[in-house]
Amino acid sequence: MDKSPLEEKTASLNFIEALIEKDIQNHKNGGRVHTRFPPEPNGYLHIGHAKSICLNFGLAKKYNGKCNLRFDDTNPVKEDVEYVDSIMEDVRWLGFEWNGEPLYASDYFDQLYVWAEKMIVDGKAYVDEQTSEEIAAQKGTPTVPGKESPFRNRTSQENLDLFRRMKAGEFNDGEKILRAKGDMASDNMHMRDPIMYRIIHKEHHRTGDKWCIYPMYDFTHGQSDYLEGITHSICTLEFEVHRPLYNWYLDQLVEPGYRPQQIEFARLNLSYTVMSKRKLLELVQKNYVSGWDDPRMPTIGGIRRRGYTPEAVRDFADRIGVAKRDNVIDVSLMEFCVREDLNKKAARLMVVIDPVKLVIENYPAEKTEWVEVENNPEDPASGNRMMPFSREIFIERDDFMEEAPKKYFRLTPGGEVRLKGAYIIKCTGVKKNASGNIIEITCIYEPESRSGSGTEASQRKIKGTLHWVDAKNALPVEVRLYDRLFNHEDPGGQEDDFKNYLNPDSLKILSNCMAEPSVKTLKIQDRVQFQRQGYFCVDYDSTPEKIIFNRTVTLKDTWAKVAAKE
């Protein structure tokens, strides 16, 4: 039986959970927990949003509460339905289902308008008709107090009339705005007569041409939370300074009592990538990547296409924790999470990425036999499969060296190696072309050494085991080797352009890889392990004629480290 979260004293809580548990114990809001994920539909979601999604939906789940999906769509200039659909897809892919229908801040435009008029009638808001430059100039700076607008003391009647005419479309964009009467000397810039409404003659993706005035974020978010009965309104640190305004608007508009509480946490930063919408957009627009879902992008679409599982992403979100201090998570933690998940789930396959032909001289020319190999040693239920084996096979070019360092235990001239699932072979020579490149390796095999035969020869201890593919039955496939997009830990935080730190080797396309015949049964997005190499998934571009794999992540490679040191 699951214990209630409140009884689980053993697990430590993050500061938001601690706060929520205190609220539940104090029976605040009747002990309800209701969160929301409030994206603006003006771009694609990235791994930072995934942290927020896991947090908000995860909290609701943990405390038997609800989590709304609410699109913060108050600016028709930037927003589009295209994004709404992709955001819903991403949230669902991560494995979460929102409470009821998707909600929209634009659903509350009528109520917000009523509230705006109330502010005017109460003498707490006024119509300003200065230019944005004038307003900015008189707003002061964080260290210099602002000055009051010359339009600040109009009568309520005049303000109401002007505001209604704004709504009626009598003015052009930017001609007039509605401002709240805050405090132009406040240390908090957001309290210096914040703008409530602006004129935008633009069709809205949901309300069409009903409105030509649109509320600002600050005049929308808290009220939306209030209307939805949100208890804990979780957002990132940069909204901390907005909190006084968030609370102030509600205090002006609604009866004392229930209030949603804004709580801020530190956004996710990941090493070796950029997260800002602007920079990601630039990568797409200038074709440094193939699109928003390029497998190198930190977007949820990119991560999905790369082959990450939702489970791995959720586990990652769990492990990075939630706190208020700025942080940079090492991307190797994310790689760890996906390896750990895929190790349990991914079927093993033999694929030779950089093939070189190997001929077994003492193996009959016409013979093909079938050998049995495990699908996944970590999952006995996954069973075994048969692979063809014959005189000519492909092995990895890296798995042979004419002059090898001491700890190299793959194939060398005169050396022995085991072909996984098949026989022990011994190298007898190499053939090279005119330019000195190896074109063929020759070996002899030990006929008694077949794997699983139980013979003494088959049980001999051999240091190296290679993956291989039967040449006659090999299927050529394309493999896209992805690596980190940037070769600097913090490409966005440098003096010069972040694009100077793009990793030139972030994508290598190899089109002559040789796969075992069973790859034919794979479908788009299937995830597998290429034995000894890494985890791969079948790309969207794949067709039955041309199978294409994306490398999700390499296997940990102890040898690569040793070799690099030599």
Minimum Å gap between C-beta 137 and RNA is: 8
Minimum Å gap between C-beta 534 and RNA is: 9
Catalytic residue among 139, 202, 267, 357: 267
Tell me phi and psi for residue 197, to 5 degrees.
Answer: -135, 145
Interface with RNA by CB under 7 A: which range of 132-140, 203-211, 430-438, 470-478?
A: 132-140
Residue 3 is among the residues annotated as catalytic for this protein: no
Interface with RNA by CB under 7 A: which range of 25-33, 54-62, 445-453, 502-510?
A: 445-453
User: What strand order describes the sheet that includes 66-71?
Assistant: 34-37, 66-71, 103-104
CB contact set of 313 (below 8 Å; sequence gap of 6+): 47, 50, 54, 94, 300, 303, 337
Judged by CB under 7 A, the residue of 111, 252, 384, 458 near RNA is 458
Note whether 224 binds RNA by CB under 7 A: no
Judged by CB under 7 A, the residue of 96, 109, 163, 214 near RNA is 214
Q: Which residues of 300-316 are buried (b: 16+ CB within 10 A; e: fewer)?
A: bbbbbbbbbbbbbbbbb
Return the closest-CA partner of residue 424 out of 446, 452, 442. 446
How far is the CA of 443 from the CAs of 113, 171, 362, 369, 414, in angstroms? 83, 86, 8, 18, 9
Ranges within 459-488 binding RNA (CB under 7 A): 459, 461-462, 464-465, 467
Ranges within 14-53 binding RNA (CB under 7 A): 14-15, 18, 38, 40
CB contact set of 431 (below 8 Å; sequence gap of 6+): 438, 439, 440, 441, 442
Minimum Å gap between C-beta 282 and RNA is: 15
Minimum Å gap between C-beta 290 and RNA is: 27
Q: Which residues of 435-455 are buried (b: 16+ CB within 10 A; e: fewer)?
A: eeeeeebebbbbeebbbeeee
How far is the CA of 48 from the CAs of 87, 240, 276, 317, in angstroms? 13, 18, 10, 9
Which one, 140 or 291, has the nearer CB to RNA? 140
Catalytic residue among 277, 407, 460, 520: 277
How far is the CA of 206 from the CAs of 80, 108, 203, 220, in angstroms? 9, 12, 8, 16
Which one, 294 or 338, has the nearer CB to RNA? 338
Judged by CB under 7 A, the residue of 23, 72, 193, 294 near RNA is 72
Which one, 142 or 504, has the nearer CB to RNA? 142
Which one, 221 or 391, has the nearer CB to RNA? 221
Ranges within 243-302 binding RNA (CB under 7 A): 266
- What's the rounded Cα separation, in Å, for the pair 140 and 182? 14
Per-residue contact flags (x/-) with RNA for residues 525 to 564, judged by CB under 7 A? ----x-xx----------------------xxxxx-xx--
Ranges within 86-115 binding RNA (CB under 7 A): none
Which one, 34 or 450, has the nearer CB to RNA? 450
Q: Across the chain, how many H-helices and E-strands are there?
A: 13, 25
Site for RNA (CB under 7 A): how many residues? Answer: 93
Which one, 28 or 541, has the nearer CB to RNA? 28
Ranges within 491-530 binding RNA (CB under 7 A): 529
Q: At what angle do helices 310-320 and 47-62 cross, to 10 degrees?
A: 80
Ranges within 326-385 binding RNA (CB under 7 A): 326-330, 332-333, 336, 339-340, 343, 348, 376-378
Which one, 440 or 446, has the nearer CB to RNA? 446
Q: For residue 261, what are the β-bridge partners?
A: 232
Minimum Å gap between C-beta 208 and RNA is: 18
Ranges within 383-422 binding RNA (CB under 7 A): 407-410, 418, 420-421
Minimum Å gap between C-beta 77 and RNA is: 7
* 3 state SS for 489-530: CCHHHCCCCHHHHECCCCEEEEEEEEECHHHHHCCCCCEEEE
Which one, 385 or 467, has the nearer CB to RNA? 467
Q: Is the dihedral of CA 459, 460, 461, 462 positive or negative?
A: negative
Instruction: Write the burial class of residue 13 (CB in 10 Å: 0-12 exposed, 13-18 middle, 19+ buried).
Output: middle
CA angle 535, 401, 517 (to 5 degrees): 40
For residue 55, what are its two tokens? 């947090």
Tell me the one-letter amino acid at 275: M
Per-residue contact flags (x/-) with RNA for residues 227 to 246, judged by CB under 7 A? ----------xxxxxx----
Minimum Å gap between C-beta 30 and RNA is: 24
Judged by CB under 7 A, the residue of 61, 124, 147, 190 near RNA is 190
Minimum Å gap between C-beta 458 and RNA is: 5
Residue listed under structure tokens 């409470």: 99
Which one, 294 or 307, has the nearer CB to RNA? 307
460 in Cβ contact with 451 (< 8 Å): no
Judged by CB under 7 A, the residue of 99, 111, 156, 188 near RNA is 188
Residue 286 is among the residues annotated as catalytic for this protein: no
- What's the rounded Cα separation, in Å, for the pair 7 and 445? 63
For residue 161, what are its two tokens? 């009339």
Judged by CB under 7 A, the residue of 4, 25, 64, 131 near RNA is 131
539 in Cβ contact with 549 (< 8 Å): yes
- Give the CA radius of gyration of the chain: 31
Residue 202 is among the residues annotated as catalytic for this protein: no
Interface with RNA by CB under 7 A: which range of 53-61, 124-132, 156-164, 249-257?
A: 124-132
Tell me the one-letter amino acid at 356: V
Catalytic residue among 40, 129, 282, 440: 40
Minimum Å gap between C-beta 52 and RNA is: 12
Judged by CB under 7 A, the residue of 125, 135, 300, 359 near RNA is 135
Ranges within 151-180 binding RNA (CB under 7 A): 173-175, 177
Judged by CB under 7 A, the residue of 29, 68, 75, 106 near RNA is 75
Q: Catalytic residue numbers?
A: 40, 267, 277
